[in-house]
């Protein structure tokens, strides 16, 4: 398969991206880039991947018209049901792809970092499926708030390492995983969970996730009985579910809206809105928008949902933002909680808190969206969040 709109030789999308990594990792990044391009051009690799996506993950995921919500909001609202993918979110599209790639490269050991636990579960799943050793780094705070996911990973024979350093959340787990990789790169592949990190990760994660948007094109644009989307909405943590659904539409002129976490509100400073309220800098190997103070110190992000609790964002989104290919907005914790309740009560679908940010924006923008065909990427199911939602009461 040919790659549409690839980054340049340095892994840059416009001003963003690149390969800001320790010298010792350069050979591994170059090897990965080469292995990915070689695999992507090989029909045998796609046959194996497609078979697993169809019969193990359950793709294509349905697109479902949310009739009651549509009526309530005056919008023709459709849900791309990534919550129905095996493991309950889109992340497995990427982990199976990268695990297959690792196997092809002859690397029997996988490491990963995880925030909500979803990427850890998706990685442990892919490793169990393909018989690879799996080590997952997780911030101690996240280990606590996502205990069930920790147990899931251990059931699937992954080793979970709790990271106590720094804020003990995702950012710190990423640093520890990087440290491991520097020491183990000979036999280890690092499965990054979003369209972030040094080149070629933003490219290859995008390629593994863009099946979401490609399916949507078949299910809606090319369907004789369904409308073509006018607005596509997705939440943005690192940005993989959003990039996955946006990318096939990047030249379509369709309104692409990425929804970040406004946490306690942008003005409070406690949020995860790197594109809305951040500025360009270098984080985890790439040049991108991030949350930083005047001295360039990376700030801690805040979101009620661990999946959006990250101070950076994938570099291609930074490029999309500056060029206007997509626009980015932000939604508070409270509005996301409210949207989670609305979708649960109105459709019988409990969305992930991450995905609820997308619905919260749609609800807030309902006046502007009247009568339009809007697709929300329902990136995951909310079972993992139910206890937390209960704690917030209301
Ligand atoms: C991890 C996660 C996200 C955020 O990650 P992206 O890379 O921005 O997609 C969003 N939704 C769900 C359900 C997740 O698990």
Q: How far apart are CA 243 and CA 63, in angstroms?
A: 17
Tell me if 352 CB under 6 Å of ligand 1: yes
In terms of average pLDDT, the best of 21-30, 170-179, 239-248 is 239-248
Specify the CATH class of 12-54+91-206 in words.
alpha beta
- Side-chain-side CA neighbours of 352 within 13 Å: the count stands at 31
Whether the predicted model's global pTM rises above the 0.85 cut:
yes
Q: Are 236 and 260 spatial neighbours (Cβ–Cβ below 8 Å)?
A: yes
Mean pLDDT value across residues 197-215: 98
Tell me if 318 CB under 6 Å of ligand 1: no
Q: How far apart are CA 273 and CA 317, in angstroms?
A: 12
Task: Return the structure tokens found at 265.
Answer: 């509100």
CA–centroid distance, 303 to ligand 1, in Å, is: 12
Q: How far apart are CA 290 and CA 288, in angstroms?
A: 6
Phi-psi category of residue 322: left, alpha or beta, with phi > 0 → left and psi -120 to 50 → alpha: alpha
Mean pLDDT value across residues 279-286: 95
- Lowest mean pLDDT segment, chosen from 34-48, 171-185, 187-201, 267-281: 171-185
Summarised one tens digit per residue, pLDDT across range 309-342 is 889 999 999 999 999 999 999 999 999 999 999 9
Reply yes or no on whether the pLDDT at 393 is more than 90. no
- Residue 205: in which H helix or E strand, if any? helix 201-209
Of the listed 113, 207, 316, 347, which one is catalytic? 113
The ligand 1 atom at the shortest distance from the C-alpha of residue 82 is 13
pLDDT number for residue 49:
98
Tell me if 307 CB under 6 Å of ligand 1: yes
Categorize the per-residue pLDDT at 392 as very low, low, confident or very high, splitting at 50, 70 and 90: confident
pLDDT number for residue 148:
87
Summarised one tens digit per residue, pLDDT across range 87-115 is 999 999 999 999 999 999 999 999 999 98
The ligand 1 atom at the shortest distance from the C-alpha of residue 355 is 11
Reply yes or no on whether the pLDDT at 21 is more than 70. yes
Neighbours of 181 (CB within 10 A): 18
- Candidate from 61, 86, 89 with most ligand 1 atoms within 8 A of CB, to mutate: 89
Mean pLDDT value across residues 4-21: 95
Domain boundaries, the chain: 12-54+91-206, 58-89+210-391
CA dihedral 284, 353, 368, 289 (to 10 degrees): -10
Q: How far apart are CA 148 and CA 130, in angstroms?
A: 23
pLDDT number for residue 394:
54
Summarised one tens digit per residue, pLDDT across range 214-231 is 999 999 999 999 999 999
Q: How far apart are CA 274 and CA 196, in angstroms?
A: 13
CA–centroid distance, 7 to ligand 1, in Å, is: 23
pLDDT number for residue 135:
98
More confident residue, 144 or 249: 249
- Candidate from 80, 236, 259, 307 with most ligand 1 atoms within 8 A of CB, to mutate: 307
DSSP per-residue string spanning 25-82: GHHHHHHHHHHHHHHHT-HHHHHHHHHHIIIII-PSPPEEE-HHHHHHHTSEEEEEEG
More confident residue, 248 or 300: 248
- Two domains, one topology: 12-54+91-206 and 58-89+210-391: yes
Mean pLDDT value across residues 105-132: 95
The ligand 1 atom at the shortest distance from the C-alpha of residue 306 is 1
Q: Please, which residues have CB within 8 angstroms of residue 289's CB and are 6 or more apart in sequence?
A: 274, 275, 278, 279, 280, 281, 312, 313, 317, 318, 321
Summarised one tens digit per residue, pLDDT across range 253-269 is 999 999 999 999 999 99
Is 210 a known active-site residue? no
Name the nearest CA neighbour of 216 among 194, 198, 231, 197. Answer: 231
In the chain, what percentage of residues exceed pLDDT 90?
A: 90
Summarised one tens digit per residue, pLDDT across range 44-94 is 999 999 999 999 999 999 999 999 999 999 999 999 999 999 999 999 999
The length of the chain, given as a count of residues: 394
Summarised one tens digit per residue, pLDDT across range 184-195 is 999 999 999 999
* Beta-bridge partners for 287: 17, 282
Distance of CA 10 to the CA centre of its chain: 23
Is 91 a known active-site residue? yes
Q: How far apart are CA 18 and CA 8, in angstroms?
A: 9
CA–centroid distance, 255 to ligand 1, in Å, is: 20
| Fold of the 58-89+210-391 domain | Rossmann fold (3.40.50)
Reply yes or no on whether the pLDDT at 142 is more than 90. no
Summarised one tens digit per residue, pLDDT across range 23-35 is 999 999 999 999 9
pLDDT number for residue 108:
98
Reply yes or no on whether the pLDDT at 120 is more than 90. yes
Tell me if 340 CB under 6 Å of ligand 1: no
Q: Are 376 and 355 spatial neighbours (Cβ–Cβ below 8 Å)?
A: yes
């Amino acid at each position: 398969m040919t790659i549409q709109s690839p980054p340049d030789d340095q892994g840059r999308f416009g001003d963003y991206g690149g390969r800001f990594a320790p010298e010792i990792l350069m050979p591994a990044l170059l090897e990965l880039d080469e292995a990915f391009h070689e695999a992507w051009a090989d029909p045998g690799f796609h046959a194996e991947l497609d078979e697993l996506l169809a019969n193990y993950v359950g793709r294509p995921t349905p697109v479902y018209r949310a009739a009651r919500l549509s009526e309530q909001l005056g919008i023709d609202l459709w849900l791309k049901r990534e919550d129905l993918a095996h493991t309950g979110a889109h992340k497995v599209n990427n982990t199976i792809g990268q695990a297959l790639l690792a196997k092809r490269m002859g690397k029997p050991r996988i490491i990963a970092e995880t925030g909500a636990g979803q990427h850890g579960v998706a990685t442990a799943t892919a490793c169990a499926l393909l018989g690879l050793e799996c080590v997952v780094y997780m911030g101690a705070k996240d280990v606590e708030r996502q205990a069930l996911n920790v147990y899931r990973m251990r059931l699937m024979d992954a080793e979970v390492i709790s990271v106590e350093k720094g804020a003990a959340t995702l950012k710190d787990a990423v640093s520890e995983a990087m440290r491991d990789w520097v020491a183990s790169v000979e036999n280890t592949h690092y499965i990054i969970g979003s369209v972030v990190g040094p080149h070629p990760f933003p490219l290859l994660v995008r390629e593994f996730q863009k099946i979401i948007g490609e399916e949507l094109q078949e299910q809606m644009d090319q369907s004789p009985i369904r409308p073509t989307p006018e607005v596509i909405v997705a939440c943005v943590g690192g940005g993989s579910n959003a990039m996955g659904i946006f990318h096939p539409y990047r030249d379509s002129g369709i309104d692409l809206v990425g929804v970040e976490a406004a946490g306690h509100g942008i003005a409070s400073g406690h949020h995860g809105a790197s594109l809305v309220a951040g500025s360009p800098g270098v984080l985890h190997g790439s040049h991108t928008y991030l949350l930083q103070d005047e001295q360039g110190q990376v700030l801690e992000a805040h979101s009620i949902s661990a999946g959006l609790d990250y101070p950076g964002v994938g570099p291609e989104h930074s490029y999309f933002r500056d060029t206007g290919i997509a626009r980015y907005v932000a939604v508070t914790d409270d509005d996301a909680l409210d949207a989670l309740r609305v979708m649960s009560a109105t459709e019988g679908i409990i969305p992930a808190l991450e995905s609820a940010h997308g619905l919260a924006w749609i609800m807030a923008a309902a006046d502007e969206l009247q009568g339009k065909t809007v697709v929300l990427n329902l990136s995951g199911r909310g079972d993992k969040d139910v206890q937390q939602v209960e704690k917030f009461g209301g």
